[in-house]
Chains A and B, each alone.
Chain A
């Protein structure tokens, strides 16, 4: 049994004459959280809908747990749980009835496991209330409970923190990490926020205009682009000193910007202080998605 749980090869989708997805390739491994990063309209949702069998690809193949989604739909689907966009459940049914409803569409889910899942997403107290009385966070959690019912190997979550409050976002993040690390699931998460991907994913695919422009470990990507922002006095002296050891750019508000290199940054600081420069502020700054895009696409804007 290979470690690859989801494999996408040459995936394309053409609507009318317009090619929306232009040949995607990527593999997901067991136990990892994989981020799907791109601005709105990059093709994230279309791709996810093809992965879960809602949209038929124009060409290319998708395998989940070794089963082709088109040729072996039911087998592939039984390896996968998903939430596509918002967790839209039957609002006129209770949480429990919703779970029962989806359990009936799976081959044998026992009651004990349903209760276990409810426990896992901590909905025990409200599970017998109608879904229309749920908060967005609760709906999101019920959505995940529903996705976990079939004991999937792959969990696909489209914008899972969309609309959640900071507390909810943190909870969701921890939960996703837990599922990957403790339960060994592969989790595919899409987002348009780099900060979010950075906090919960191991690897990330950056997509733009229907094509993957980079697949890499999150650390590598960030290292490429992470910056230190210096607020120093006097500025000119500091700039001279720093430019001897690294590249310096002048930022707005009289700041200096250098790359972030883990061990070097503190020594640069020492250097500055020793030469009598007053270091008022030293900030590590993560790149914005825009910066990453600019870097990766060589100046092409997101739009």
Chain B
């Protein structure tokens, strides 16, 4: 099995997929670092070098003004209200939610990447793992060796797990190293507040905990890794089912994008919570965002994703083992 995995790793490396992913991540991180840097500069220009408390206070007032202005939806209004409550909590506890430094950048970047950007990167690697062998015809050589089919597919799946892990690590590492050039590498121990409970329109702060940022990052990246793995597994299944790589990618892309869109508009369609793409935003539960559908919890989302992942895996193996190769 190790030899088979070695073969698959060789293919991924030689196709330069990981390199492409690393390149894309590096460019995006540089882009966001620069834009955030400009944002900070602008704020400095406008308000001068003020304490973060003043800035946060100002933000709260800004948001309150937005809520009272007419023409915004009720949903958006309640989300803004939640944000104010959260910021107020930070202010009351004298914790800076945006402690400057690379770790904070990594934290927010991961939060925003978990439901679309990272899944896309995983797709780059996973989408053609099986289908490319079929379209290139090499599958005929692969499956006429004295190796059982399930072992061939298993070696590919293990390779997928490894690649996903590499991508997640690269993601963290690159965003830390690049953003640190501007913001500095400090801030590992800055306190972060987690455990907000959203009940209706109210923010429940009873279960709130204050933990150092490194611990928060650890939790966050475990969730990121898990999401990446599930998205990878589903893409893997499509790669087995659909011989044509672009078609498979199209299907996955459509699912991911519809997930991103649906998340902001399905609060009244309750059964949508069983779709995997609605459940990708796991980090939202850590930072205390309102879930897309009321009543969804971290445990629920983890369960839904796990079921999707296992189902995808079963389908992949069942189909691959029985399939006639023409």
Q: Chain A 162-176, CB within 8 Å of chain B: the 1/0 string?
A: 000000000000000
Are B137 and A85 closer than 8 Å at their CB atoms?
yes
Residues of B close to A104: CB separation below 8 A: 3-4, 6-7
Residues of B close to A54: CB separation below 8 A: 140, 143-144, 324-326
Are B137 and A92 closer than 8 Å at their CB atoms?
no
- Whole-angstrom distance between the alpha carbons of A53 and B152 in the complex? 14
Residues of B close to A85: CB separation below 8 A: 137, 140
* Interface stretch (choices A75-83, A116-124, A207-215, A234-242): A75-83
Are B146 and A77 closer than 8 Å at their CB atoms?
yes
Most A Cβ at <10 Å: residue of B140, B147, B326: B140
Are A92 and B15 closer than 8 Å at their CB atoms?
yes
Q: When the two chains form the complex, which single residue of A84, A91, A97, A106 contacts B140, counting CB atoms closer than 8 Å?
A: A84
> Which residue of chain A is the closest to B8 with respect to CB atoms?
A101
Q: When the two chains form the complex, which single residue of B140, B144, B146 contacts A75, counting CB atoms closer than 8 Å?
A: B146
Range, interface on chain B: 20 to 34
Q: When the two chains form the complex, which single residue of B15, B138, B146, B326 contacts A106, counting CB atoms closer than 8 Å?
A: B146
Interface residues of A in 4-55 (CB under 8 A from B): 49, 52-55
Interface of A is mostly: loop
Interface residues of B in 126-155 (CB under 8 A from A): 136-138, 140-148
- Whole-angstrom distance between the alpha carbons of A111 and B10 in the complex? 19
Least Cβ distance of A59 to chain B in Å? Answer: 15
Are A88 and B141 closer than 8 Å at their CB atoms?
yes
Residues of B close to A191: CB separation below 8 A: none
Within 8 Å of chain B (Cβ to Cβ): is A113? no
Within 8 Å of chain B (Cβ to Cβ): is A89? yes
What's the tally of chain A residues with a CB closer than 8 Å to chain B? 32
Are B138 and A88 closer than 8 Å at their CB atoms?
yes
- Whole-angstrom distance between the alpha carbons of A297 and B226 in the complex? 63
Residues of A close to B322: CB separation below 8 A: 56
Are B324 and A84 closer than 8 Å at their CB atoms?
no
- Whole-angstrom distance between the alpha carbons of A78 and B145 in the complex? 7
Residues of A close to B146: CB separation below 8 A: 73-78, 105-107, 150
> Which residue of chain B is the closest to A101 with respect to CB atoms?
B7
Residues of B close to A82: CB separation below 8 A: 144
- Whole-angstrom distance between the alpha carbons of A257 and B146 in the complex? 53
Q: Which residues of A contact B (CB under 8 A)?
A: 49, 52-56, 73-78, 80, 82, 84-86, 88-93, 97, 101-102, 104-107, 146, 150
Give 7 nearest A-B pairs by CB, closest first.
A88-B137, A78-B146, A104-B3, A77-B146, A105-B145, A54-B325, A74-B146
Please name 21 pairs of A and B residues whose Cβ atoms are closer than 8 Å in the assembled complex, sorted by A. A52-B140, A52-B144, A56-B322, A73-B148, A74-B148, A77-B146, A77-B147, A84-B140, A85-B137, A85-B140, A88-B136, A88-B137, A88-B141, A90-B11, A92-B14, A93-B10, A93-B14, A101-B7, A105-B7, A105-B142, A105-B147
